Chain A
Amino acid sequence: MEAAHAHDHAHGHAEHAHHPGGIMRWVMTTNHKDIGTLYLVFSLTMFFVGGVLALMLRAELFQPGLQLWRPDFFNELTTMHGLIMVFGAIMPAFVGFANWQIPMMIGALDMAFARMNNWSFWLLPPAAILLVVSFFVPGGATAAGWTIYAPLSTQMGPGMDLAIFALHIMGASSIMGSINIITTILNMRAPGMTLMKMPLFVWTWLITAYLLIAVMPVLAGAITMILTDRHFGTHFFNPAGGGDPVMFQHIFWFFGHPEVYIMILPAFGIVSQIVPTFARKPLFGYSSMVYATASIAILSFIVWAHHMFTVGMPAAAQLFFMYATMLIAVPTGVKVFNWVATMWKGALTFETPMLWACGFIFVFSMGGFTGLVLAITPVDIQLQDTYYVVAHFHYVLVAGSLFAIYGGAYYWLPKWSGRMYDETLGKWHFWLSMIFFNITFFPMHFSGLAGMPRRIPDYALQFADFNMISTIGAFGFGLAQLLFLVVLFKLRSGPKAADKSWEGAEGLEWTLPSPAPYHSFETPPVVK
């Protein structure tokens, strides 16, 4: 991103003259900021790839009837849109933030394992290439949904194998990233930076990293079993050989549910940094925020089967998973209340990062509310695998994770690049995204309630109006994202950012010059 270039110029060459220049600088880098930039650029690229797939499938859904794609290609689009957005866009974006911010926020020099850091990033591009190339192998990409349920996934062509390899590689990358983050946070904090003084973003990432280490191997196990079922004659999920297709779902969601918190907890962290800054007031209920994050993480391990209420579990199991799922509303509610209380009686201003954060609180909460509706087993059985669920998880993943990522990017871009972004453009980017997001996804609640299943290329006539609105919204949303590229492009010529870029900003990163020096804290600061 521009960030890295800008700081390259700003810093002269004396202090890192021993680094190779040009492309090799990026290939060989062990610097947390360079690697953070690589992660963020990678994630933005994959976000646009996944976005194009989304627009392709929305285009087919503009009207009833099959116009553009064959049904099997439509299924490839939905599957790859999901896989690319989850594993290629959202997760790497948060790791990018972690790389840039964690050392600066805890007063460390760099990440703990610098070389492993390089490796965990450079695993991602080959994985992404495998995913994208799978469209061009015989039979096309996997069309079994991002959930790759067996036995449908064992029917797929070689595209499925490529996706399995890609997931393995991305999983390895995530695990290495997590080990690095945990080690950095636990060992490299500045003197006086006790755990309960850490910025909330660091806390949320510490917990997220543990979640990743716990569940990525579970996913690896599930997809390996698919692979051996496909090619080596095992029958883990093949009922004809004594296997159990439902077991796949249990294993997958034991990974999958913590996974959704992996994608939202760092977003909570970012929002918890932004809101106090622009309220000019300390975060309300810091310790309860930490405890709430930890409770959400722990609960995430005992709710997985709420994704499977329709497989026909015994009543006792349905009730257990319903109660456990409902419980998650309590810590999540605490977080929202704390953010509102932080804003209460502050001196609020609404620069772009704060707009994204407020947008996040508002729209993410709507996703939380529909989550509560879906937690109720009988209602879920009616709504499972409908567009209501599609609306729900886009409210938490787009309006949740993505809005927080944008908020964080606008918030820290001045620190990363040493330049202020164009505030007007930033506000346009936010408002257009917010409006088109709702035009796209709000009608999906209605089509879901009325009975439209998800993952279908064609639909009955009563869903036509809502689908047309959604498609128009989707194209508006997609185009609005191009504004972010303009913002990044104009960053070079933006005004110089102050070291403390925001009036109300607190934290060690703001004590560093803007742009931040190549090595964050050569001598550890002392935190009182």
Chain B
Amino acid sequence: MTSTLARLFAAALALCADAALAAQYNLQPPQSVIAREIYDLHTLIMWIIVVIFVVVFGAMTYAIVKHRKSVGHKAEQFHENTTVEIVWTVIPFLILIGMAYPATKTVIAMKDTSSPDITIKATGYQWKWGYDYLQEGISFYSSLATPRDQIEGRAAKGEHYLLEVDNPVVVPVGKKIRIITTANDVIHAWWVPALGIKQDAIPGFVRDTWFRADNPGTYRGQCAELCGKDHGFMPIVVEAVTPEKYEAWVKEKKAQAQKVAAADAAPEKKWTLDELKQRGEKVYAANCVACHQANGMGTPPAFPPLSGSKMVNGPKGPHIDIVLNGKPGTAMAPFKHLSDADIAAVVTYERNAWNNKTGDMVTPDEVKAARK
């Protein structure tokens, strides 16, 4: 009796292990209606394919084994048969109709982005994502959180290597979330496999898609459209939480934003060089490091060095301008979406880091003036 139970237990364990393994060989376990429909469509088509495969290659294998010259088979000379040819044209056609019907229903469901509960704009940047919660008024950037040391093999790789970000997208479960995509520079694609959505983010255009997360959890995806050097390093993380937790998160984010804005805008605020440099180093790490590198040496010629650069060591004006407005025709994108304080900080940092020792301080007021 005990041994039977033990065997049953072992079998159950093996099944679980298989299920975990199966996730590696198949689409990720679906976490939304659309993802489930996609999963089922794929399974259906796989079975149809398996049947066709067995029939066609069963016949071919039979011929290879039985109709060989070496087993003494004599070649027959038939070379057409209208009935057979019509049959094997019509049958595939009917199978296709059988496949097209459920696929059509899913396409229409995927396209229905009407009456969402929450609308989030996802903007692709080289190489991070920016998110704007349109009704809530929350905005933030979301960049890769995996340390360079792990990527370059100086540290052990963590569990969510390359699939972790500093600021995840937080959504409530059970609510229809409409994602609007666009891009700042080149085409990116916003893709979360478990939620069954992938939508290109195209500069100058706005596209949309939707999902409704069934269960709380963390769902990870990546940019799916080649977008340059760090295409492999701009993941997407969606945290689906209970509606209560979501409300709390929204409140917290808003309070945070207000605090920062108030502090930056306070007219009496006196910035010091060190304060700006410290803040600038963080802004640099989040926005500039991918191209210009932590050591300021860039990766020439596409991404020029800042350390020792004539531009950075020259007058402040052109330096502020290139950070604000970018340089058309090059990979240098405009960063005017950053706050005055952030731009002031990063310009100050650049002018005083590495081999640059200008001793200059750029204040948010100067940036504000330069915007006009």
- B45:A372 contact, CB within 8 angstroms: yes
CA distance A504 to B75 in the complex (A): 10
**Is A451's beta carbon under 8 Å from chain B?**
yes
Specify which chain B residues have a CB less than 8 angstroms from the CB of A460 in the assembled complex.
160-163, 220
Specify which chain B residues have a CB less than 8 angstroms from the CB of A157 in the assembled complex.
301-302
**Is B196's beta carbon under 8 Å from chain A?**
yes
**Is B2's beta carbon under 8 Å from chain A?**
no
Among B174-207, those with CB < 8 Å from A are 181, 185-187, 189, 191, 193, 196-200, 202-205, 207
**Is B270's beta carbon under 8 Å from chain A?**
no
- A152:B53 contact, CB within 8 angstroms: no
- A151:B208 contact, CB within 8 angstroms: no
With both chains docked as a complex, state the minimum distance between the C-beta of A23 and any C-beta of chain B, in angstroms: 38
CA distance A132 to B156 in the complex (A): 37
Q: Pick the residue among B24, B203, B208 that contacts A446 (CB under 8 A).
A: B24
Specify which chain A residues have a CB less than 8 angstroms from the CB of B330 in the assembled complex.
155
Binds A, one of B76-84, B276-284, B316-324: B76-84
Q: Pick the residue among A72, A287, A330 that contacts B299 (CB under 8 A).
A: A72
- B59:A344 contact, CB within 8 angstroms: yes
CA distance A323 to B93 in the complex (A): 11
Among A61-81, those with CB < 8 Å from B are 64-67, 70-72, 75
Specify which chain A residues have a CB less than 8 angstroms from the CB of B204 in the assembled complex.
239-240, 243-245
CA distance A457 to B231 in the complex (A): 9
**Is A10's beta carbon under 8 Å from chain B?**
no
Among A360-398, those with CB < 8 Å from B are 361-362, 365, 369, 372-373, 376-379, 381-382, 384-386
**Is A302's beta carbon under 8 Å from chain B?**
no
**Is A480's beta carbon under 8 Å from chain B?**
no
Among B36-90, those with CB < 8 Å from A are 37-38, 41-42, 45-46, 49, 52-53, 56-57, 59-60, 63-64, 67-70, 73-80, 84-85, 88-89
- B37:A378 contact, CB within 8 angstroms: yes
Specify which chain B residues have a CB less than 8 angstroms from the CB of A287 in the assembled complex.
80
Max chain A Cβ within 10 angstroms of own Cβ: one of B202, B220, B224: B224
**Is A141's beta carbon under 8 Å from chain B?**
no
**Is A195's beta carbon under 8 Å from chain B?**
no
Interface string of A63-102 (1 = CB under 8 A from B): 0111100111001000000000000000000000000000
With both chains docked as a complex, state the minimum distance between the C-beta of A329 and any C-beta of chain B, in angstroms: 6
Q: Pick the residue among B92, B108, B301 that contacts A138 (CB under 8 A).
A: B301
Specify which chain B residues have a CB less than 8 angstroms from the CB of A449 in the assembled complex.
25-27
**Size class of the contact patch on chain B:** 35 or more
CA distance A267 to B192 in the complex (A): 38
Specify which chain B residues have a CB less than 8 angstroms from the CB of A65 in the assembled complex.
150-153, 157
Specify which chain A residues have a CB less than 8 angstroms from the CB of B202 in the assembled complex.
239, 245-246, 311-312
CA distance A342 to B230 in the complex (A): 51
With both chains docked as a complex, state the minimum distance between the C-beta of B337 and any C-beta of chain A, in angstroms: 15
Specify which chain B residues have a CB less than 8 angstroms from the CB of A312 in the assembled complex.
181, 199-200, 202, 205, 207-209
- B189:A385 contact, CB within 8 angstroms: yes
Among A410-467, those with CB < 8 Å from B are 446, 449-451, 453, 455-462, 465
**Is A511's beta carbon under 8 Å from chain B?**
no
**Is A228's beta carbon under 8 Å from chain B?**
no
- A329:B92 contact, CB within 8 angstroms: yes
DSSP class of B's interface residues: helix, strand, loop or mixed? mixed
- B79:A461 contact, CB within 8 angstroms: no
CA distance A518 to B199 in the complex (A): 57
**Is A283's beta carbon under 8 Å from chain B?**
yes
**Is A481's beta carbon under 8 Å from chain B?**
no
- B73:A310 contact, CB within 8 angstroms: no
**Is B221's beta carbon under 8 Å from chain A?**
yes
Q: Pick the residue among B26, B80, B196, B198 that contacts A285 (CB under 8 A).
A: B80
Binds A, one of B95-103, B242-250, B307-315, B345-353: B95-103
- B224:A386 contact, CB within 8 angstroms: yes
- A337:B226 contact, CB within 8 angstroms: no
**Is B120's beta carbon under 8 Å from chain A?**
no
- A323:B100 contact, CB within 8 angstroms: yes
Specify which chain B residues have a CB less than 8 angstroms from the CB of A462 in the assembled complex.
24
- B231:A346 contact, CB within 8 angstroms: no
**Is A32's beta carbon under 8 Å from chain B?**
no
**Is B216's beta carbon under 8 Å from chain A?**
no
**Is B3's beta carbon under 8 Å from chain A?**
no
**Size class of the contact patch on chain A:** 35 or more
With both chains docked as a complex, state the minimum distance between the C-beta of A231 and any C-beta of chain B, in angstroms: 9
Specify which chain B residues have a CB less than 8 angstroms from the CB of A71 in the assembled complex.
229-233
Which of chain A's residues has its CB closest to B64's CB? A348
- B301:A139 contact, CB within 8 angstroms: yes
Q: Pick the residue among B42, B60, B227, B231 that contacts A340 (CB under 8 A).
A: B60
Specify which chain A residues have a CB less than 8 angstroms from the CB of B26 in the assembled complex.
449-450
- A72:B302 contact, CB within 8 angstroms: yes
- A348:B224 contact, CB within 8 angstroms: no
Specify which chain A residues have a CB less than 8 angstroms from the CB of B161 in the assembled complex.
64, 460-461
**A381 touching B198 in the complex, CB below 8 Å, given contacts A65-B150, A322-B100, A453-B222:** yes
With both chains docked as a complex, state the minimum distance between the C-beta of B110 and any C-beta of chain A, in angstroms: 6
Specify which chain B residues have a CB less than 8 angstroms from the CB of A206 in the assembled complex.
none
Max chain B Cβ within 10 angstroms of own Cβ: one of A75, A330, A378, A462: A378
- A282:B34 contact, CB within 8 angstroms: no
- B103:A377 contact, CB within 8 angstroms: yes
Which of chain B's residues has its CB closest to A331's CB? B89
**Is A281's beta carbon under 8 Å from chain B?**
yes
**Is A334's beta carbon under 8 Å from chain B?**
yes
- A279:B103 contact, CB within 8 angstroms: no
**Is A358's beta carbon under 8 Å from chain B?**
yes
With both chains docked as a complex, state the minimum distance between the C-beta of A219 and any C-beta of chain B, in angstroms: 19
Which of chain A's residues has its CB closest to B208's CB? A312
- B193:A144 contact, CB within 8 angstroms: no
CA distance A465 to B67 in the complex (A): 40
- B99:A458 contact, CB within 8 angstroms: no
Q: Pick the residue among B35, B104, B226 that contacts A319 (CB under 8 A).
A: B104
Interface string of A117-146 (1 = CB under 8 A from B): 000000000000000000000110001110
Specify which chain B residues have a CB less than 8 angstroms from the CB of A13 in the assembled complex.
none
CA distance A384 to B89 in the complex (A): 29
- A149:B151 contact, CB within 8 angstroms: no
Specify which chain A residues have a CB less than 8 angstroms from the CB of B119 in the assembled complex.
none
**Is B159's beta carbon under 8 Å from chain A?**
yes
**A349 touching B185 in the complex, CB below 8 Å, given contacts A315-B108, A449-B26, A450-B23:** no
**Is B28's beta carbon under 8 Å from chain A?**
yes
- A373:B45 contact, CB within 8 angstroms: yes
**A455 touching B38 in the complex, CB below 8 Å, given contacts A330-B93, A362-B57, A446-B25:** no
CA distance A245 to B187 in the complex (A): 8
**Is A510's beta carbon under 8 Å from chain B?**
no
- A365:B56 contact, CB within 8 angstroms: yes
With both chains docked as a complex, state the minimum distance between the C-beta of A424 and any C-beta of chain B, in angstroms: 17
- B230:A281 contact, CB within 8 angstroms: no
Which of chain B's residues has its CB closest to A292's CB? B89
| 27 CB < 8 A contacts A-B | A65-B151, A67-B153, A71-B230, A72-B299, A152-B226, A243-B204, A245-B204, A284-B80, A312-B181, A337-B56, A337-B88, A340-B59, A344-B59, A346-B63, A350-B68, A361-B60, A369-B52, A373-B45, A376-B42, A377-B106, A379-B41, A382-B193, A382-B198, A384-B224, A385-B198, A449-B27, A453-B232
Q: Known pairs A72-B229, A327-B96. 7 more at Cβ < 8 A?
A: A75-B231, A311-B200, A318-B111, A378-B37, A378-B103, A382-B198, A462-B24
Q: What are the nearest 9 A-B pairs in CB distance?
A: A239-B204, A456-B232, A312-B207, A282-B79, A347-B75, A347-B69, A280-B75, A451-B193, A315-B111
